[in-house]
Amino acid sequence: MQISVVTLFPELVDAGNRCGMVRSAIEKASLAVRGYNPRDWSADRNRRVDDRPFGGGPGMLLQPGPICGAIDAAVSESEGEPRVVALSPQGRRLDRHVIADWAERRQPLVLVCGRYEGFDQRILDSRVDEEYSLGDLVLSGGELAAMVVIDAIARRLPGVVGDAQSVVEDSFEADRLDHPHYTRPPEWEGRGIPGVLTSGDHRRIAAWRAEQAMLTTARRRPDLFTKHGPTADERAALERHWLGDTDAPRARDRTRD
Ligand SMILES: C[S@@+](CC[C@H](N)C(=O)[O-])C[C@H]1O[C@@H](n2cnc3c(N)ncnc32)[C@H](O)[C@@H]1O
């Protein structure tokens, strides 16, 4: 899959490309990431790409000429028709459904990163298919949001994550959060691990994990139940738990509830 990033800081995106899962996806040729710096399309002798907003007000805006020059180059060098996505706090909220859809389609993406006060509106009107936001917070630039998109896509591309099952079992995949995990040592600072995990009984382990995932979801993100509400078994487990008759993920609860 090909992802182009229009950014004033290609070195920032490159740094992410050299690490972990993204690096692995690039090395396996499942993913290609290329930066386009709008300064290379600036007509200004100092390579400026920003100017003051008409009507006054604070800050500077990205000008249409250099940004659209970079977008046009990224589009024309993409294999096939790319989707042009601007990262913006005013966009639709990114979630795993959007990422899964993009990763499945493998349609090339052009991610456009803003800086300063953001984009001249004509950039969005003339070149951008969709705007997406990382959430209700304001970053100083779109690069970190673009890197989040690249990372989340990379781990969904075939053959990138060693055990594909681990992606399927992640939080949100079945509209549930993940269950608690434990590794060696079995005793640490006086804390043990749930006995079922060393029982060797894979059915009981799977049942315990499913129940813990459901309980964590019920406590922290009950909104996830709206699509796939608790099943009869899950409801019974919830009732048992509310009556105190269960081995709940206490350590995690203390940190959040
Ligand atoms: C300082 S912000 C501009 C904020 C803009 N004036 C507003 O209030 O909507 C500069 C750039 O950072 C990026 N950015 C900031 N917050 C973001 C978010 N939550 N999601 C995605 N990109 C974001 C966008 O590319 C934006 O153009």
Block residue for tokens 């386009």: 36
In a domain, 212, yes or no: yes
User: Tell me: the pLDDT tens digits for 164-206?
Assistant: 778 888 999 889 999 999 999 999 999 999 999 999 999 999 9
Q: Which has the minimum average pLDDT: 28-37, 126-135, 200-209, 232-241?
A: 232-241
Same domain, 34 and 135: yes
Q: Counting atoms of ligand 1 from 1, which one is nearest the CA of 138? A: 16
Domain stop point among 154, 177, 211: 154
Distances in Å between the alpha carbon of 1 and those of 78, 98, 193? 10, 15, 41
Instruction: Supply the pLDDT for residue 253.
Output: 46
Same domain, 119 and 76: yes
**Distance from the Cα of residue 167 to its chain's centroid:** 13
In a domain, 220, yes or no: yes
Same domain, 148 and 174: no
How would DSSP label each residue in 101-158? HHHHH---EEEEE--TT-B-HHHHHHH-SEEEESSSS--S-SHHHHHHHHHHHHTTST
Domain limits at 80? 2-154
The order of strands in the sheet holding 32-36 is 32-36, 2-6, 109-113, 83-93, 130-133
Burial per residue of 215-228, b for 16 or more beta-carbon CB atoms within 10 angstroms, e otherwise: bbbbbeeeebeeee
User: Tell me: the pLDDT tens digits for 40-60?
Assistant: 999 999 999 999 999 999 999
Between the CA of 89 and the centroid of ligand 1 the distance, in Å, is 5
> For atom 18 of ligand 1, which residue has the closest CA?
89
> For atom 6 of ligand 1, which residue has the closest CA?
117
| Res. 248: pLDDT tops 60 | no
Q: CATH code at 57?
A: 3.40.1280.10
